[in-house]
């Protein structure tokens, strides 16, 4: 395999970052385009109620994404540090434990969703008119989540193994396949929302199998390791799993906060603007993963560089990587904000027809939502930075601030001040307040105030 030559300990920081960032960005943009195309096909082929139904199910999908990314980030950070110490066996054990532990949690989520479908949907904000559509989408999505977990965890570990281009190819193949199958099943085969869900499951299967094939046949350093079944080995596995969860918990909260954003938004938009409001909000929810993906590409590209050099004690290289990441995040966030302000009509027309009642609501609201992009990109970069150097508590606190503590009151309070516009301003407000907290704390501590590397 033509592997990328990445020397995390000695290579030029800017060159390393570019080698990781652009493949990661391309892969994530393809995933975001997939979400947009999925919404476009469903919106035009099935209707705005179908968009609202998918928005009901989306928080559950985000929870599953969060579980996968939590173990992926946790295993990647710890694995980077173990590799910097020259402990290849420990890195392989961590990878194997991450997959097994996360799979158990995934299985529980899938089982609950299958056996208690109606209760799960209504807990997510569903109503009677959307129940059939939401149920059809959820039940056909569940089989694909098994493979989706393989892909979520694998992306970070494949990049750590020195193959960011292969990781990119996994995301591109899954996205292109999903787009084609969406079109095929929604339009020529006229399978409605069920067809869109089947298309997503099949594309998840393709991506998951590509990841599994990589670790079985193509990987360089990171491979599955046969774990012992002794009591001591099980205790160590539980300890390592707990530490991975601690490191990656902020990433899980990031995905969970998007789910909370959708559930809270569904309730408040339904209360103020009815089903048309939920449909308009769902367009913003389809676009938000684009903001998240581009911002997260910056954090994920810098993560192995920061973690490896942190593990090696090269703190000057850690600081340089952070500066490059924050600069890149600022540029990307500003571009997204300008794009959503200037192109709200075009973006809305991708999903629904101008004659739809939800159209004008979305055109007016998307520019407000778009103002969060710059703040969000910088926040996610700093949170990823603290994860990469094992400051899990700090990263968790910042993620809770932006995703829960500031956001939920924003959805409740701002509509009373600004009317319906306040619904769209809740997310930008939470990101801005979080950035202020992060900036003040970072400046207070000083950029070179790095703790010693944790040994465990």
Average pLDDT over residues 137-148: 86
Give the predicted TM-score (pTM) of the model.
Answer: 0.72
Q: Which of 7-16, 44-53, 89-98, 193-202 has the lowest mean pLDDT?
A: 44-53
Convert the pLDDT of each residue in 378-416 to its tens digit. 999 999 899 888 788 898 899 899 988 999 999 999 999
Average pLDDT over residues 179-203: 86
Please tell me the predicted confidence (pLDDT) of residue 87: 86
Q: Which of 176, 157, 175 is nearest to 166 (CA)?
A: 157
Supply 90's token pair.
């420990």
Q: Which of 164-168, 258-262, 379-383 has the lowest mean pLDDT?
A: 258-262
Please tell me the predicted confidence (pLDDT) of residue 409: 92
Please tell me the predicted confidence (pLDDT) of residue 3: 52
- 400, 260 contact by CB (below 8 A): no
Please tell me the predicted confidence (pLDDT) of residue 420: 83
Residue 271 zone, left/alpha/beta (φ > 0; ψ -120 to 50; rest): alpha
Convert the pLDDT of each residue in 322-351 to its tens digit. 999 999 999 999 999 999 899 888 888 878
Average pLDDT over residues 98-126: 85
**Angle formed by the axes of helices 192-213 and 48-84, to 10°?**
10
d(CA 211, CA 233): 26
Mean pLDDT estimate for the chain: 83
Convert the pLDDT of each residue in 222-234 to its tens digit. 888 887 777 777 8
Per-domain residue ranges for the chain?
A: 13-445
Average pLDDT over residues 430-448: 84
Please tell me the predicted confidence (pLDDT) of residue 456: 44
**Three-state SS string across the chain, please?**
CCCCCCCCCCCCHHHHHHHHHHHHHHHHHHHHHHHHHHHHHHHHHCCHHHHHHHHHHHHHHHHHHHHHHHHHHHHHHHHHHHHHCCCHHHHHHHHHHHHHHHHHHHHHHHHHHHHCHHHHHHHCCCCHHHHHHHHHHHHHHHHHHHHHHHHHHHHHHHHHCCCHHHHHHHHHHHHHHHHHHHHHHHCCCCCHHHHHHHHHHHHHHHHHHHHHHHHHHHCCCCCCCCCCCCHHHHHHHHHHHHHHHHHHHHHHHHHHHHHHHHHHHHHHHHHHHHHHHHHHHHHHHHHHHHHHHHHHHHHHHHHHHHHHHHHHCCHHHHHHHHHHHHHHHHHHHHHHHHHHHHCHHHHHHHHCCCCCHHHHHHHHHHHHHHCHHHHHHHHHHHHHHHHHCCCHHHHHHHHHHHHHHCHHHHHHHHHHHHCCHHHHHHHHHHHHHHHHHHHHHHHHHCCCCCCCCCCC
What per-residue string of b and e applies to 203-218 under the rule 16 or more CB within 10 Å gives b?
bbbbbbebbbebbeee
């Amino acid at each position: 395999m033509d592997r990328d030559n990445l020397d995390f300990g000695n290579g030029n920081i800017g060159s390393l970052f570019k080698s990781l960032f652009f493949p990661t960005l391309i892969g994530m943009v393809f995933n975001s385009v997939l979400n947009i195309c999925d919404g476009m096909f469903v919106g035009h082929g099935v209707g705005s109620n179908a968009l609202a139904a998918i928005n009901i199910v989306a928080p559950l999908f985000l929870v599953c994404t969060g579980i996968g990314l939590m173990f992926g980030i946790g295993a990647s950070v710890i694995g980077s540090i173990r590799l910097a110490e020259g402990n290849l066996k420990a890195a392989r054990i961590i990878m194997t434990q991450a997959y097994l532990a996360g799979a158990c949690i995934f299985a529980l989520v899938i089982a609950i969703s299958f056996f208690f479908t109606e209760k799960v949907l209504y807990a997510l904000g569903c109503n009677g008119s959307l129940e059939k559509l939401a149920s059809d989408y959820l039940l056909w999505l569940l089989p694909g989540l098994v493979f989706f977990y393989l892909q979520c965890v694998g992306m970070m570990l494949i990049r750590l193994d020195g193959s960011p281009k292969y990781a990119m190819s996994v995301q591109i193949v899954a996205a292109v396949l999903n787009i084609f199958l969406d079109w095929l099943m929604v339009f020529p085969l006229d399978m409605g929302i069920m067809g869109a869900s089947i298309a997503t499951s099949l594309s998840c299967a393709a991506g998951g199998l590509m990841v599994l094939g990589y670790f079985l046949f193509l990987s360089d350093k990171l491979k599955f390791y046969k774990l012992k079944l002794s009591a001591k080995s099980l205790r160590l596995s539980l300890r390592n799993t707990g530490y991975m969860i601690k490191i990656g918990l902020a990433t899980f909260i990031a995905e969970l906060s998007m789910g909370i954003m959708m559930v809270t938004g569904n309730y408040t938009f339904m209360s103020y603007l009815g089903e048309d409001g939920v449909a308009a909000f769902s367009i913003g929810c389809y676009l938000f993963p684009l903001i998240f993906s581009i911002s997260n590409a910056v954090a994920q590209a810098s993560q192995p560089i920061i973690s490896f050099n942190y593990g090696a004690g090269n703190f000057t290289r850690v600081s340089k990587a952070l500066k490059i990441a924050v600069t890149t995040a600022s540029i990307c966030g500003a571009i997204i904000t300008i794009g959503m302000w200037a192109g709200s009509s075009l973006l809305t027309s991708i999903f629904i027809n101008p004659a739809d009642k939800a159209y004008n609501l979305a055109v007016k609201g998307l520019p407000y939502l778009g103002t969060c992009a710059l703040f969000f990109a910088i926040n996610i970069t700093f949170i990823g930075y603290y994860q990469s150097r094992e400051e899990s508590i700090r990263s968790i606190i910042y993620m809770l601030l932006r995703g829960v503590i500031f956001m939920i009151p924003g959805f409740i309070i701002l509509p009373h001040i600004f009317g319906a516009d306040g619904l769209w301003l809740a997310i930008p407000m939470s990101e801005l307040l979080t950035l202020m907290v992060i900036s003040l704390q970072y400046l207070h501590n000083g950029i070179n105030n790095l703790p010693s590397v944790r040994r465990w």
